[in-house]
Amino acid sequence: MTTVVAGRRERHRWARDALTDAFVAFLEASWRHSDIAGQTAGAGAHAEQLLAEHREMRSQLTRLRLLAADGVVEAGQALLRQQRRVHDVAAGPDREAALAAASSARRAVIAAAKKEMGLL
């Protein structure tokens, strides 16, 4: 019986740790993406870096789909779409608005993550 309980406990610990790692990696890629986009006059010069961060977010979102509830995934998808919009708009007021929308979407992901992990 002890072996069964310990095995379950280990599985839960692994899932919680994997979920935390996925949240952190997803959010870090989002912040890097926004930092790159916010520092450049045009996305063209740093398009590869922006796309690399976007790909990392997509990869981590796949992990979140496997480990997290639907609300978390929906918040993550909304943030991923906003980050793509940041990349797609020209520098200036449109990009600033897109960055602000991404920041708001990022806060929604953080709130969903905290709720998922029982931290709220």
Please measure the distance between the N-terminal and C-terminal CA atoms of the chain and give it in whole angstroms.
Answer: 33
Cβ distance 36 to 53 under 8 Å?
A: yes
Give residue 29's pLDDT band: very low, low, confident or very high (50, 70, 90). Answer: very high
pLDDT digit string, tens, across residues 71-92? 999 999 999 999 999 989 988 8
d(CA 48, CA 63): 23
Cβ distance 77 to 26 under 8 Å?
A: no
Place of tokens 């995934």: 73
Cβ distance 88 to 40 under 8 Å?
A: no
pLDDT at 76 (0 to 100): 97
Asked whether residue 39 carries a pLDDT value surpassing 80, the answer given is yes
Place of tokens 């952190």: 24
What CATH code would you report for 2-116? 1.20.120.660
Domain segments of the chain as ranges: 2-116
Please give the average per-residue pLDDT across 48-53, as a whole number: 92
